[in-house]
Amino acid sequence: MPCDCAPGGAAGDTGTVSSSPYPRLVATDLDGTLVRSDGTVSDRTRAALALVEDAGAVLVFVTGRPPRWMTPIVAATGHRGLAICANGALLYDLHTERVVEEHLLEPAAAAEVVAALRALIPDVTFAVERGMAGFSREAAYQTRWPQPDAGIAEVGELVAAPMVKMLVRHAEMGADDLLALARAAVGESVTLTHSSTEGLLEISAAGVSKATGLAGFAAGRGITAAEVVAFGDMPNDLPMLSWAGHSVGVANAHAEVLADVDEVTAANDADGVALVLERLYGG
């Protein structure tokens, strides 16, 4: 494998430590991958992340989360570097709590998506994420978690200003089916993905993904794809996993991820990321 990571096909297989240099960069998704199902980060995972940084490698969280949801991760891990948020749209400094780079979805493109999806699937509902500026939704859009500060507006008002990403929800359709329909409706005018089994899509500007965010981050540090190991669990991780020199899926990952990665480790609730990091950096 290009990043000299020892492959292991079975979930939980820790393999052997390679005699080649360590990967220079570790990129990991959070929810469903590094973070347990109860929202916690285990002591073992926290120790494994410390091994990465003690070895002089770069650690970056690459997540669909907006910046305002990163504070608990800083508290749980102690990591205060840079994070790639909102599926590659934002580069966020965890120490200063400041967005240092952004790639926004423009109103015209968003309005076209709304029109195309409403014509094909009339009962979808919309929300928009604006990073540090917060979250707004249509009145009918049902959030997965309480959002007491969310603004409520008509969809035309929601997409009237640039946004980090747009969210599309359907009450009855699964995420895979909804994604297939949406791609047929809007083509490549935007980036469509999902990170949930529910009927929820995440839409970014065309060409923006976890892969583009990570590639830019790595290039700024003189790190090539071959020197990167990446971890993920859902379709929004696929671009990043395909770009990285070595890709690892957790055992609880979406079927498309499990079929695409170089290695499968244990599930997020069984410290799958930590198992691989211990192998790579613990020797």
Tens digits of residue pLDDT in 52-103:
999 999 999 999 999 999 999 999 999 999 999 999 999 999 999 999 999 9
pLDDT of residue 5: 43
Tens digits of residue pLDDT in 5-38:
433 333 333 333 334 478 999 999 999 999 999 9
Tens digits of residue pLDDT in 34-50:
999 999 999 999 999 99
Between the CA of residue 248 and those of 13, 102, 254, 262, 275, what are the distances in Å?
A: 12, 27, 12, 6, 11
Residue 105 token pair: 């979805």
Query: Amino acid identity, residue 101?
Result: E
Pairing label, strands 165-169, 190-193: unpaired
Q: Cα(147)–Cα(114) distance, rounded to whole angstroms?
A: 22
**For residue 133, what is the DSSP state?**
G
Count Cβ atoms below 10 Å from residue 191 Cβ, excluding itself.
23
**Predicted structure pTM score:** 0.90
Q: What does R_g of the chain's alpha carbons equal in angstroms?
A: 18
Across the chain, mean pLDDT equals 91
pLDDT of residue 143: 86
Question: In this structure, what are the phi and psi dihedrals at residue 131, rounded to the nearest 5 degrees?
Answer: 65, -120
Tens digits of residue pLDDT in 126-146:
999 998 888 999 999 988 776
Walk me through the domains of the chain, giving residue ranges and CATH numbers.
25-103+209-281 (3.40.50.1000), 107-205 (3.30.1240.10)
Instruction: Mention every residue, 6+ apart, whose C-beta is less than 8 A from residue 150.
Output: 127, 134, 135, 136, 137, 143
